[in-house]
Structure 1
Amino acid sequence: MRGDGAALAGTFLGQCLPAITHRSPQGATTIHAALVQQYGFGGSHSAVKRLIRQVLAAEAPRVTSRLTFAPGEAAQVDFGAGPLLVDPRTGELRKTWFFVMTLCWSRHQYAEFEIRTMQVNQIRALIVCIGADLSQGRQ
């Protein structure tokens, strides 16, 4: 069978190929149920699974690459809105912010939650991260 659908020309599944291709990230059971409900498909679940395998085999593979770094060469930093937490002094819900830094070589992480978003807190957190890495000998 060819992955381009030529072998399916004139078949019911061949006519539904654009809809199946559009839904291919969904499971075969969901696609089969949609074909039955929307088009009155009378074929088996296995036929749909075979077609999905054929469609996926025809797609270009997703390429990934592993990034490698020397010790101390790079870090990944994230800063954003955190969960609402109860202020122990007032009992009110307070908006929080988080800071996370991951060292690329050792994968050591440092995370901190703040109630303020000032740059001073970000800089202080970076200094704590760098100090922690130096004190651990960049394991």
Structure 2
Amino acid sequence: MQGPQANWLQDGKRLHLNHGPIDLIVEVFGEADECRRAYEQAVARFQTILMELVEELPELRLPAFFLAPRSFAGPTARRMEAAVMPLAECFITPMAAVAGSVADETLAALLAGRKLDRAYVNNGGDCAIHIGRG
């Protein structure tokens, strides 16, 4: 498997991040320097997301149990567990929330310390969206 890839799409506005099964389209709006830094932060965070999930994959494939939420090491895995806990009385694993959680984690990374008007991360239709004030 190739490592994480980051490339601009043909329009020069959207960033394509790909690593194995993860395929993100990222776009940010705002002042040019803030946007540049946000993209850099997204790329930096993306470098380890898949490997972090692979390390916890055996546990992520087990059903969530509403009386005993687990403490995962990685932030994306913790997002996945939190997303499925409201449904844990039925059979569900954190893997049900993997695409959305990866999008959320990437969006959080690109927003950290940035002032952006808008931003989105699209992970195959599971999207994380930021809309600034106003």
TM above 0.5, one fold?
no
TM-score normalised to the size of structure 2?
A: 0.24
- Find the structure with the greater CA-based Rg: 1
TM-score normalised to the size of structure 1?
A: 0.23
Q: Which has the higher strand share?
A: 2
Higher relative contact order (CA 8 A, sep 6+): 2
